Structures are given as structure tokens and as C-alpha cells.
Amino acid sequence: MTLRSSAARAPLGPDSNGPEIRRTDQLDIQAQAVNDRGPGATVATARRLTVLIVVPTLHSGAADAGALDLVRILGAAGHRAIVVSRGGRLAEEVATAGGEWVARDMASTNPMVMLANAVALARLIRRNRCDVVHAHGRAAAWSAYLAARVTRTPFLTTWYKGFREQNLFKHLYNSVMARGDRVVAVSDQIAELIHDRHGTPENRIAVVPLSIELARFDAAAIAPERVEAMRRAWGVKGDTRVILVVGRMLRRKGHHVVVKAVHRLKERGLKDFLCVFAGEDQGRSRYTGELWDQISETGTADVVRLVGTVDDMPAAYAAATVAVSAAVQAEGLQRAVLEAQAMARPVVVSDLGAGPDVVLAPPAVPEDRMTGLRVPAGDADALAAALIRLFSLPEPVRAAIGVRGRAWVSQHFKGPDVAQAMLALYAEVARPR
């Protein structure tokens, strides 16, 4: 079975030539190929697979959450998942999802540690007769790649974002993520980046997006008390409009651009709004310190909150007026952008924060189809203008944008389809015994 790469598909815009082939078509094809094998045959080999998942940490990043999703997918289908990672707050959930966690420092970039990790992984592969090695994150991927080659085990990687390539060394370091027997990209944008930067053949790239728990991220299921509790925790009063920015405190996420945009809003006399940064620092105090300096210098301390990790994210989205991603580096497919749309919230994203396969925005689609707005990365003035535009819309119009966002996510990021696509991919590459 061959998974189609994004480069072989037509764009999603209304001006594309020829038939419009969307990612969900690809997932439907993969799922049908699995289903055609007969009842209960969720994988081609009709045997229990053991997949070794290697990820630097298990905190809250895209790779961390993605690895946990794979454990759930494999466990639900009766397969075995072994996760090797430094660990983090999601580690306990690995066992809850039916997986096994092995603690090793897979986040280290020390060459000697990486080599020792490769030796340890090779032993794990042989001892557990692993069928597939699946790497998330570059440091972890180098160790996994060496172990997979030594043991002749199929090697997969998943790209969640576009890595910076400021020099040849970085290009080489990043290249391990393109060396998989199959390379999984979470969006069309990332698939094209992999192909363009590393020349990875199209037939080795599979676009498999994230899936969202639609039952959990459903505005209709959120009690008003939860929303009010969240707004009180943030210090939101009355009808104050909330700009929610979800994501770890990293420069590539563009928090500094948001602060500039918030300053522009104040300069233009906008009142009754609050910007909330919801995301953990993970010890990166330098960037957080720079943000505080910027907030102080721009006089925006009264309208900006850094609240850290939020335990009740559905309530956080429900408490927001709009969700923003101001990424200044290619982010691929951000879970937060999908969750916000699933919660029927309009989104504003940079052109590096989400592609047209994630957020429907003018001019690619008519305004009566849009689920959000897109602005140039790093352009604080454009971001401020987009926020003013959304705030100025009548509430029914803004609500309609949110409704379309949930419908879009519900249609194109279905959990069962994503699960079937990944299981089919594992079945395709799994080595015979």
C-alpha cells in the first residue's frame, strides 16, 4: 500500500487547476484499504505489532502529545507501544493509555549520551522484537536511527514543525528527520518543506494530521461555571474580550510579536481587552524575561497575562474571544489552532503558524467560508488590524466563523481516520518475522 505525499495533491484554494484532492481523501483511502482486509484486520499482517516510540520529553509539546496519541492508537488496536523518553508530566498517561515507558535522557545533544542511547535502544529492539522504530525530535531520532539501522528495523519519523536551518551543521542535524523509511508530516506545509529542503522522494512522505478529541473540545459541553472560573483566574471582568495565545514560551511561537500587536491596539484606543499567554516556560527564563521587559517598555502590563500551564484547556478556549498563533517559524499543524477551532473560536494565525489546509482564510476562500484570518509572520501591525477586524464584527457573524471552524475540524481531523492511517502505515513498513 502506498501513502500519497502532499506534493502529489492539488492545493485547497478555489483557484487550483484540476480536481481538488484533499487530505481527508487520502485518509479515507488509507482507512478503506485497511477495512477492505476484512473484519478485525486493522493491520495488514493480522499480528500484534510492537512499536518503539522515541521522544525527547513527555511534557506538553507537539511531539510529546503526538507520541501519547500513538500509544492510544496502538493500544486501542491491540498492539504494544514502548515509549523511551526523559519523561515529564505526560509520562503517567503513557501507562494509562496501555503503553510502557522506559526512562532515558533522549533529549540530550551530547554525542556520547546519544551514542549510549543508540546502544540501549538497540538492546530494547532486540529484547522486545520491535517491528518498527518511530522517532519524534532530532536528538532522539539520531539515536533511534542508529539503533534501527544496526538491528535492521524499519525507521519512521514524524515532523511537527519546520526546523531552523541557519547553517550547514543545522541542516545536517535536521536531516535525520528526513531519513525515515517513511517520513510522516502533520501538514501539507511541512511535507513540502521536507521535500524542498532534503529532496525526500514523494513516495516516502505521508501526510497524517493530528486528531482532536471533539467530545472534549466542544463549547456546548462546557459548563458556564468552568468558563467563569477561568476568567476570574485571569482577572477578566465583565465583557472584556480575551485574546488567547496557547503554546510554550519559545521565540519561534512569536509571543513578542503579539506584545507589539497589543501595544498597537492600545495606541489605537482599543479598550476592554486582555491578552493571555497560556503555556509553560520549561526553564527558558531568558525569553520569558525578554517578554517581561518588552511588556514593561510598551506599557502593556495592564492587558497582558502570563498564566503558565492551564489544566482546563476547553474552558480556556471557551473563555476566549479569539485564539492567536503568531509563529515566526514554520509550525506545521498546531494542536492549539485545531482545538480553538473545534471550540468554535475564530483564529488569527501567521502564514507560518498554519497553512490553508488548517485554517480557511481570505483571500483563499470567500469570507462566508472563513474560519479565521491569516497575516504575514512577524507583522505586528497586520496582526493588530486582524484583531480589530474580528472585534468589530457583530457577535452573530463572529459566532458563525466559529461554527464553520468546528465543522472544518470535525470533517478533516477525525480521530478514527487518523488512527487507521497510522495503523496502515505501520503495517506497510513492519518487517516480517
Is residue 203 located within the same domain as residue 317?
A: no
> Using CA atoms, how far apart are residues 369 and 312, in angstroms rounded to an integer?
29
Q: Of the candidates 109, 120, 184, 107, which has an alpha carbon nearest to the alpha carbon of residue 150? A: 120
Query: Residue type at 58?
Result: L
Within-domain flag for 55: yes
pLDDT at 231: 96
- 343 close to 359: Cβ distance less than 8 angstroms: no
Instruction: Using the predicted structure, report yes or no on whether residue 20 has a pLDDT greater than 60.
Output: no
Q: Is 120 exposed, middle or buried (0-12, 13-18, 19+ CB in 10 A)?
A: middle
pLDDT at 126: 97
Q: Is 399 exposed, middle or buried (0-12, 13-18, 19+ CB in 10 A)?
A: middle
Beta-carbon count within 10 A of 93 CB: 15
pLDDT at 141: 97
Instruction: Using the predicted structure, report yes or no on whether residue 171 has a pLDDT greater than 80.
Output: yes
Within-domain flag for 1: no
Q: Is residue 260 helix, strand or coil?
A: helix
Give the chain's mean pLDDT.
87
- 38 close to 8: Cβ distance less than 8 angstroms: no
pLDDT at 187: 84
Is residue 228 located within the same domain as residue 277?
A: yes
Angstrom CA distances, 114 to 59, 61, 141, 154, 408, stand at 20, 21, 9, 19, 41
Q: Kindly report, residue by residue over 226-268, the tens digit of the pLDDT.
A: 999 999 999 998 889 999 999 889 898 999 999 999 999 999 9
When divided into structural domains, the chain yields a total of 2
Within-domain flag for 281: yes
Angstrom CA distances, 336 to 172, 278, 359, 368, stand at 30, 11, 12, 23
Q: Of the candidates 314, 349, 310, 307, which has an alpha carbon nearest to the alpha carbon of residue 332? A: 349
Is residue 329 located within the same domain as residue 364?
A: yes
Is this prediction's pTM over 0.85? no
Higher pLDDT: 398 or 283? It is: 398
Q: Kindly report, residue by residue over 93-139, the tens digit of the pLDDT.
A: 999 999 999 999 999 999 999 999 999 999 999 999 999 999 999 99
Is residue 279 located within the same domain as residue 405?
A: yes
Is residue 230 located within the same domain as residue 363?
A: yes
Q: Which are the contacts of 75, defined by CB distance < 8 A and separation ≥ 6?
A: 81, 97, 98, 99
Instruction: Using the predicted structure, report yes or no on whether residue 14 has a pLDDT greater than 80.
Output: no
> Using CA atoms, how far apart are residues 272 and 286, in angstroms rounded to an integer?
30
Least confident range from 162-166, 215-219, 372-376: namely: 162-166
Least confident range from 85-89, 180-184, 386-390: namely: 85-89
pLDDT at 195: 93
Within-domain flag for 56: yes
pLDDT at 10: 33
Arithmetic mean of pLDDT, 43-70: 84
Percent of the chain scored above 90 by pLDDT? Answer: 70
pLDDT at 62: 81
DSSP string, 169-196: HHHHHHGGGG-SSEEEESSHHHHHHHHH
Q: Which are the contacts of 35, defined by CB distance < 8 A and separation ≥ 6?
A: 420
Arithmetic mean of pLDDT, 142-171: 91
Instruction: Using the predicted structure, report yes or no on whether residue 16 has a pLDDT greater than 50.
Output: no
Q: Of the candidates 371, 388, 332, which has an alpha carbon nearest to the alpha carbon of residue 159? A: 332
Higher pLDDT: 33 or 76? It is: 76
pLDDT at 61: 78
> Which domain covers residue 19, as residue numbers?
6-211+414-429
Within-domain flag for 164: yes
Most confident of 11-15, 36-40, 143-147: 143-147
| CATH number of the domain encompassing residue 109 | 3.40.50.2000
pLDDT at 42: 43
pLDDT at 114: 97
- 80 close to 74: Cβ distance less than 8 angstroms: yes
pLDDT at 12: 33
Is residue 192 located within the same domain as residue 166?
A: yes
> Using CA atoms, how far apart are residues 251 and 284, in angstroms rounded to an integer?
10
Q: Which are the contacts of 288, defined by CB distance < 8 A and separation ≥ 6?
A: 249, 281, 306
Is residue 181 located within the same domain as residue 237?
A: no
Within-domain flag for 196: yes
Going by pLDDT thresholds of 50, 70 and 90, the confidence category of residue 164 is confident
Largest CA distance in the chain: 69
Instruction: Using the predicted structure, report yes or no on whether residue 26 has a pLDDT greater than 90.
Output: no
Within-domain flag for 250: yes
> Using CA atoms, how far apart are residues 191 and 333, in angstroms rounded to an integer?
11
DSSP state of 219: G
Is residue 155 located within the same domain as residue 264?
A: no
Q: Is residue 292 helix, strand or coil?
A: helix
Q: Kindly report, residue by residue over 340-379, the tens digit of the pLDDT.
A: 999 999 999 999 888 788 899 999 999 999 999 999 999 9
The arrangement of strands across the sheet holding 50-54 comes to: 100-103, 80-85, 50-54, 132-136, 155-159, 182-185, 205-207
Instruction: Using the predicted structure, report yes or no on whether residue 283 has a pLDDT greater than 90.
Output: no
- 342 close to 410: Cβ distance less than 8 angstroms: yes
Is residue 76 located within the same domain as residue 145?
A: yes
pLDDT at 282: 66
The residues that bridge with 179 in the sheet, in sequence order, are none
Least confident range from 44-48, 49-53, 411-415: namely: 44-48
Q: Kindly report, residue by residue over 328-337, the tens digit of the pLDDT.
A: 987 777 889 9
Within-domain flag for 377: yes
> Using CA atoms, how far apart are residues 416 and 335, in angstroms rounded to an integer?
17
Q: Is residue 321 helix, strand or coil?
A: coil
Q: Kindly report, residue by residue over 308-328, the tens digit of the pLDDT.
A: 989 899 999 999 999 999 999
- 100 close to 110: Cβ distance less than 8 angstroms: no
pLDDT at 248: 85
The residues that bridge with 136 in the sheet, in sequence order, are 158
pLDDT at 367: 94
Q: Which are the contacts of 393, defined by CB distance < 8 A and separation ≥ 6?
A: 401
Is residue 21 located within the same domain as residue 135?
A: yes
Is residue 286 located within the same domain as residue 345?
A: yes
> Using CA atoms, how far apart are residues 177 and 190, in angstroms rounded to an integer?
12
Q: Kindly report, residue by residue over 183-193, the tens digit of the pLDDT.
A: 999 888 889 98
Least confident range from 25-34, 113-122, 145-154, 200-209: namely: 25-34
Is residue 283 located within the same domain as residue 372?
A: yes
